[in-house]
Structure 1
Amino acid sequence: MLFAESGSRPWVLVFGPVLAAAGIGLESLAPGGASYTLWLGVGLLVFLYTLVLVRTRRRFLRVELTPSRLVQGTTSLPMSHVTSLRPPDEEHHGVRVLGDGPVVPRRLSPVVLRLTDGTRAVAWARDGAGLRRALEDLLRERAYR
């Protein structure tokens, strides 16, 4: 694996149980004691909500680059189709975006690729500069073969 981003970090799932424990702990200091079932229910609901978010982000926002494939969400592009990278400041509006959406996802950096058929496509990653470096290294290595 030359570059990888999971889309979401699993530690976010800890928020629900931590919230429940903090709520139980603080409420136990109050007169009348803690409402265990209420806080456990809140913790469970927050956990389930974040579980759905983490699973969705891991499916649709993952990025993997291997010598043979570039994976963007659920889309896979063979690296044999990529000929070069466009300059970092090149406009990418109106260019086909790799992945599952019509635009580059929010807070992710675009990397414009030139494909073998002469068209352009936009790859993206949280660490756009890191993805660009990995792609440049791979293309440079492929050119020397």
Structure 2
Amino acid sequence: MSDPEPVLYEESGTRPAILLFGPVLAAAGIGLESLAPGGASLPLWLGVGLLVFLYTLLLVRTRRRYLRVLLTPSALELGTTSLPMSHVTSLRPVDEEHHGVRVLGDGPVVPRKLSPVVLRLTDGTRAVAWARDGAALRAALEDLLRARAAS
């Protein structure tokens, strides 16, 4: 049985703690409404809490699938797309324009609030990777490329 590859950089896409928003909202609503004359409408608040929970569950699952970043020595995975690291030759400068360059991942553009990292590929083209912490992804990629060049 082979050992799993070391993870050099990882982002999950979102934190699962956000799922607590629906239950906390329902509990707060029940607590506040119980102070009002007539008492709390328990079924209403439980329904609201359940609907908010289901909506956030859908958001968390989607973000974990399509905004996940995983860098190992052999591959860079962005969402459901995987790029073999053997195809990456270098990184482009931080300030290089990335508009019109193929974006890796599942969308046509770099997702909102994520930082681009421009890669130079073995076929001479460029591609854009992205991460919430673009500087950390860039540093991990630079370390990997430096180690690969030294060996």
TM interval, shorter chain, is over 0.9
2:15 to 2, 9, 15: 9
Q: CA deviation at 1:22?
A: 0.2
1:118 to 105, 121, 124: 124
C-alpha deviation, 1:113, in angstroms: 0.1
Q: Which residue of 1 aligns with 2:104?
A: 98
Instruction: Please give the TM-score of this superposition, normalised by the length of structure 2.
Output: 0.96
Q: Number of aligned pairs? A: 145
Q: Does 1:83 align with 2:86?
A: no
1:49 aligned onto 2:44: no
Determine the structure 1 residue equivalent to 2:148: 142
Name the SS of the counterpart of 1:30 in structure 2.
coil
Distance 2:124 2:133 in 1: 26
Provide the alpha-carbon RMSD of the alignment. 0.3
By how many angstroms is 1:9 displaced? 0.5
Q: Identity percentage over the alignment?
A: 85
Name the amino acid aligned to 2:22.
G
- 1:134 offset after TM fit, Å? 0.2
Instruction: Extract unaligned runs of 5+ from structure 1.
Output: none
Query: Aligned AA for 2:37?
Result: P
Local SS of the residue matching 2:120: strand
Unaligned runs of 5+ in 2: 1-6
Deviation at 1:29, TM superposition (A): 0.6
Q: Secondary structure at the match of 2:61?
A: helix
Moved over 4 A (4+): none
